[in-house]
Structure 1
Amino acid sequence: MDLNALESFVLSAETLNFSQTAQRRNTVQSAISAQIRKLEQEVGHKLFDRGRGKAMTLTPEGRALAVQGRRILGLADEAVRSLDTARQARPLRLGTTVTLALSVVPEALAETAGQTRVEIDCDRSDRLLARLDAGDIDVALMMDQGRRSDRAMVVDMPLVWVAAHGFALAPDADVPLVFLTDGRDLRSHAFAALDRVGRRGFLAHLSPHPIGLRALVQAGLAVTIMPQAAVREPLYRVSKTAGLPALPRVALSLYRRTGADVPGTEALTAGVRRAICSGDGPGP
């Protein structure tokens, strides 16, 4: 049954006037008449008694269809609303690293609270893009993985030396370092910077997981390096009085799955940018 024609019929059953129905539906009377004729052909019954000099009335079949028609239109509206509700309830799936989930992401989510439901999945940077391409996540926030058509944001910043509050390191002392077991890039940046100024560093600890790395740093056992935006209490940038050399710059990037239209994506992207650019992390 043509829902458009049914809607015209139900309204006509209320007005008993095709001209008024046409005005309320923003069309012409002839279009309403044609819809009613088509509907009468579909159901096989005359729905209105009408003629010259006679007031329009509903036939018994018309009265019955008007009751059921209202129910059908109500169910159709409910079905559309349920689709809208399902779309709004669809979570925004964010993939990121543990380090960023513990620093940048909370601030970004605090700004978008209540706008959408978010699922967070943590993984390594080099795995997140593959999961984005596979459709497992909608947004990926990580260390920059290079230019792509789906890269929505890239923010450049320095790497910084990070330790626990009160960590003391003499300017000429060997530097105890802690890194992820597979954190070769950051490790090479740290040792290259130390070599450049003729200072010795040594690998004091390793951890296969970022939480373990943070525990070792928070315990005051060693120093690590992080992107500046990822430093949040209880971790702190090492004081310049420790004499540690400047580190190279890196970039954090946000990639968005092509074709994904998930509510809250724009707000989250803006929140991430603001969180990354909000400051230089706690220092001594």
Structure 2
Amino acid sequence: MELRQLEYFVAVAETRSFTRAAERVHISQSGVSAQIRQLERELGAELFDRSARAARLTAAGRAALGPARAALAAAGAVGRAVEEVTGLVRGRLTVGMVAGCTLTPLFEALAAFHAAHPGVAVELLEDGSDRLLDRVRDGSLDLALAGTATAAPEGLEAMTVVSEPIVAAVPPGHPLAARGRIRLRDLDGLPVACMPAGTGLRAVFDEACAARGARPAVVVQAGAADALADLAARGLGVAVLTASMAERHRDRLTALPIADATAPALLALVWRSPASPAVREALRCCRRAFAVEPRPAPAG
């Protein structure tokens, strides 16, 4: 008795047709018929009543169907168990990262993953956040660190690693510099330096402005926070940054909280579900590196 014979038997039982079963298992009808005849000889009983137009199970066939399905399920489980192991012995993990974003914990996590699973090649690519999310969705990336405006990007699983308010950063002597905080409308009529569309920070800023009816003029765009800070320090625009980005330039810029921009800019690890063994292991390393507690399993 062979697994393929059981597979053909279940296919005929479920489709009630030798022809449709052959299409399902991608062999000829005569091949299916021959293998089931062989199975019937080995079992000593006919499994189908062939006198009707549809292939109907005999009493022996009905008795055999449950165990046949269980045998196929068990064989599949064996294959998956081996795949769980070999997937972490050899293979490839492709990780995306926001261009210009240097987060030491991510590199520490990837180093820990590589040390534990040296047979898995790790590939790290940079791109804009929107494109990273799309590439995780289409499967060309296994995992990505991307800026987002929401904690759960559509169609993806996510683990937030950074959540910060956005601020306006200006040099000393700027008209806004003496204020303790500002509102979005205070930026109307002023040149603004911000990250380009497609980034998480820009999405948060644009959504906040739309909600408050503010219309600042984004006249300078750059994908790197340091570039925005340099431009702002030279008076080319009010830089819209996260609090930690601005903090790195506190010697030349004043960070002003934006009172009515309440939604934080998020940086999250995103992946598709179900996650592969390599992605699950990489996420475990990331949780340790970023000190993120695993989410509890949903009740029920």
Please give the TM-score of this superposition, normalised by the length of structure 1.
Answer: 0.47
Instruction: Say which one has the larger Rg.
Output: 1
Please give the TM-score of this superposition, normalised by the length of structure 2.
Answer: 0.45
